[in-house]
Structure 1
Amino acid sequence: MSAAYFTHRRALIIAAASAVAALVATSSAPPARALEHVTVALPNQPQKQLSGEPIVKARDGGMLLKTADGAIHRLPSKSILNRKSDSEPLVPLTREELSAQLLAELPPGFRIHNSKNYIVCYNTTPTYAEWTSSLLERLQRAFIAYWKKQKSPVKAPEQPLVVLVFADQASYADYSKKDLGASVSNIIGYYNLETNRIMMYDLTGMQALRQNEGARGSRHDISALMSQPEAEPLVATIVHEATHQIAFNCGLQTRMVANPFWLTEGMATFFETPDLSRSSSWSGIGNVNYSRFDLFHDNYDAGKVIPLERMLTDDKLFQTPATAVDAYAQAWAWNYFLIRSRPKEYAAYMKAIAAKPVLVEDQKGQRVKEFQAAFGEDLGAIEDDFYRMMNRVK
């Protein structure tokens, strides 16, 4: 993965938080569960009506609004033209309603593929859409089962998760440049915290192949192609982004809270190793992620590892191209170590982070204290245990 991937992947999270910094400074207590109906005029967008549940209300009238499609909207006070409220609860859109909204929003030619827990909206081949949903269904089933076994309070998402699959990189880039900017050409897929969707494109080139030669391929062909060593980082990216989407929708993590990057990204890398040879199960959870491990091991041998306290507190490590790849490798190693050696403590730590207030930045020293509360006061002793265990990994 390119440095641009890491920089802009994190920029999506940073933008979501920084754009509502004023809400943090002036927010009122969490509102009662009720609907707000607003007419808004946002920059470079037509005027529109939104109805949803306020997550945060600012004293100046701005808000974060969660709508029935699962999206979270940043609404500065000056963008709200009129508003009214009622006492009705927010009811998530049904599969049919969500599908209709997607088709109305996207260009002509998109279709819907439904699976148990996903809506795949696509304009590539139906076979690739089916392959994608099969991969993600297996991941979600295994992910939730894994964390339930760890006694984490996870549950199935409240509505189907949305994945957009474009036929080619060009159409994907045209749609996604509003999120990714100039680096869209370097990023093959991503999860957007605000829309709650995954965006990607057909990585096999099957659409172009079908147009030129009339070949369609099968799910078996796709799995064979994506099982090649050259495709490993591509599949890892899909799984990584899908892991974020599941984690933020099953109760393991909370959107728009101060999630430490080392935790969020390291946990996702823990799930990056699927076995595509199996069609009915997911055997990759907890396997050594050798692309991450090899880099971590090389850095360890070269004396270039990141001290634990800095990794806990310095999110810029994951945002800066010069350090991002190394930081992801070390985040994988730490999550691997903690999940394997201290599973109960790790689950409790995840629960504590998920319970943090929305859009409230961590205070100086807070992250270290949170880590110590879960895993122990002596960071030096924990680091010693970490290096001993990682030296035994083969």
Structure 2
Amino acid sequence: EGKTLQYSNDSVEMLLRDGRYFEFKPSDARNYRKTSSRFRSYSAGEMRSRLANELGKQFSITGTGHYLVAHPRGQKDLWANRFEDLYRDFVHYFSVRGLSLREPEFPMVAVVWKNKQDFQRNARRSGLDISDNVLGYYWPMTNRVHLFDTSSGRGDRAGWKKNAATIIHEVTHQTAYNTGVHTRFADTPTWVAEGLGTLFEAPGIHSPRDYRRQSDRINRGRITSFKSKASRLKDGFLVDLVG
């Protein structure tokens, strides 16, 4: 079930009740009917049930205020609250600057795969060609975040540092698309979407209560990388980047 976003002789674009975006040819529709006078998303309970059926028994699903996080069994405390906390910090960042964001229309879904192999296998099944060094991604078509546990369930500090960086970046994308900062149904300039993602990687942005110095708001790693690459680019490259 879903609502029609756009219709033409060539294609139909629909938003499904679980938040997925679906496009098909009108000729592919054999039977269709109006089932309701208004569109509503699945409830968190309905989404949880559908997600459990889709992913199988190797996953547990933990719900928070805005999230359903599917993760390896026995790892509830490692994942779910981190997603919710980042969502709240994102909303807070904009609210203190006078911008009121809308509530997400759908429960937001994140899937944490047990290892890199399962993560990449799922991406291929979905028709995505991701590079070997990708640790996670947000896909607007499904409205889901996918990542894998780089610590392999050990929870060691080095592994969790990578996990945390991936979660921060991808949750920023997901929250931005679900609260009206971006829209999933039109192109967002890469420098805007990725710029916001890298902004929130700075500890003073994503965890302002714990990192209060002004210098904590600067993404040092990204600045260093940018300066290194910028020194090798032609004059005026920023004009091309912003477009």
**Into which bin does the TM-score normalised by the smaller protein fall?**
0.7 to 0.9
Deviation at 1:181, TM superposition (A): 4.7
Task: Give the match for residue 198 of structure 1.
Answer: 145
Deviation at 1:234, TM superposition (A): 4.5
Q: Distance in 1 between matches of 2:88 and 2:210?
A: 8
Secondary structure in 2 matching 1:83:
coil
Task: Give the match for residue 317 of structure 1.
Answer: none
Matching of residues 229-244 of structure 1 within 5 Å: 232-244=161-173
Secondary structure in 1 matching 2:32:
strand
The counterpart of 1:90, out of the listed 24, 39, 42, is: 39
**Alpha carbons 1:124, 1:165 under 8 Å: kept:** no
Q: Distance in 2 between matches of 1:156 and 1:195?
A: 18
Say if 1:112 and 1:292 are closer, same or farther in 2 by CA, change over 3 A: same
Task: Give the match for residue 152 of structure 1.
Answer: 99
Deviation at 1:104, TM superposition (A): 0.9
Amino acid across the alignment from 1:69:
D
Deviation at 1:242, TM superposition (A): 0.9
The counterpart of 2:51, out of the listed 95, 102, 114, is: 102
Q: Note if 1:170 corresponds to 2:120.
A: no
Say if 1:306 and 1:191 are closer, same or farther in 2 by CA, change over 3 A: farther
Deviation at 1:302, TM superposition (A): 4.8
In the alignment of these two chains, the number of paired residues is 239
Secondary structure in 1 matching 2:13:
strand
Deviation at 1:124, TM superposition (A): 4.3
Q: Distance in 1 between matches of 2:181 and 2:130?
A: 30
Q: TM-score, length-normalised on structure 1?
A: 0.55
Larger CA Rg, structure 1 vs 2? 1
Secondary structure in 1 matching 2:141:
coil
Amino acid across the alignment from 2:9:
R
Matching of residues 328-347 of structure 1 within 5 Å: none
Matching of residues 219-258 of structure 1 within 5 Å: 222=155, 225-226=156-157, 228=158, 232-258=161-187
Matching of residues 5-16 of structure 1 within 5 Å: none
Q: Distance in 2 between matches of 1:282 and 1:59?
A: 54
Amino acid across the alignment from 1:307:
F
Q: Which has the higher helix share?
A: 1
Q: Which has the higher contact order (CA 8 A, sep 6+)?
A: 1
What's the RMSD between the two structures over aligned residues?
2.7
Instruction: Provide structure 1 residue ranges, at least 5 long, that are not aligned to the other structure.
Output: 1-50, 210-221, 314-394
Give identity over the alignment, percent: 24
Q: Distance in 2 between matches of 1:180 and 1:237?
A: 21
**Alpha carbons 1:153, 1:251 under 8 Å: kept:** no
| Superposition misfits of 4+ residues, deviation over 3 angstroms | 179-185, 230-234, 280-286, 299-306
**Alpha carbons 1:152, 1:252 under 8 Å: kept:** no
Deviation at 1:281, TM superposition (A): 4.7
Say if 1:87 and 1:96 are closer, same or farther in 2 by CA, change over 3 A: closer
Deviation at 1:180, TM superposition (A): 5.9
Amino acid across the alignment from 2:8:
A
Q: Distance in 2 between matches of 1:269 and 1:240?
A: 7
Q: Distance in 2 between matches of 1:182 and 1:303?
A: 28
- After superposition, give the CA deviation of every residue in 1:276-315 in whole Å (9 maximum; x if it has no partner): xx7x9564897111111002222444565653321122xx
Say if 1:274 and 1:80 are closer, same or farther in 2 by CA, change over 3 A: farther
Q: Distance in 2 between matches of 1:112 and 1:268?
A: 25
Amino acid across the alignment from 2:137:
Y
Amino acid across the alignment from 2:167:
I
Q: TM-score, length-normalised on structure 2?
A: 0.86
Instruction: Provide structure 2 residue ranges, at least 5 long, that are not aligned to the other structure.
Output: none
Secondary structure in 2 matching 1:85:
coil
Task: Give the match for residue 267 of structure 1.
Answer: 196
Task: Give the match for residue 14 of structure 1.
Answer: none
Amino acid across the alignment from 2:134:
I
Task: Give the match for residue 3 of structure 2.
Answer: 53
Q: Distance in 1 between matches of 2:235 and 2:200?
A: 22
Q: Distance in 2 between matches of 1:100 and 1:239?
A: 26
**Alpha carbons 2:58, 2:73 under 8 Å: kept:** no
